[in-house]
Amino acid sequence: MNEKIRSQIMDIRDSGAVNMFSVHEVQRLAFEKDYHELVLFIEERKADYVHFILTGEMPK
């Protein structure tokens, strides 16, 4: 995960528009916001995404 993806996650979280554990809804909102890096990150590394949401620790 890089800083750009982290920033995109935080933007969606701060919007309060979706439950961050509703992965499909997060991906949908990310796609609508043109956060394509985040869409791909969740698709390819869902466990790392969930780990970040739970702990705030950025995976390598």
The token pair at 46 is: 């869902």
For residue 9, count CB atoms less than 10 angstroms from its CB and return exposed for 0-12, middle for 13-18, buried for 19 or more: buried
7-50 pLDDT, tens digit per residue, is 999 999 999 999 999 999 999 999 999 999 999 999 999 999 99
> DSSP string covering the chain, please?
--HHHHHHHHHHHHHT-S-TT-HHHHHHHHHHTT-HHHHHHHHH-HHHHHHHHHH-PPP-
Assigned domain for 47 exists: yes
Residue 8's domain comprises: 3-55
Assigned domain for 17 exists: yes
Whole-number Å distance between alpha carbons of 36 and 27: 9
Assigned domain for 60 exists: no
pLDDT tops 90 at residue 58: no
Assigned domain for 22 exists: yes
pLDDT tops 90 at residue 59: no
Assigned domain for 33 exists: yes
Domains of the chain: total? 1
pTM of the model: 0.92
Assigned domain for 28 exists: yes
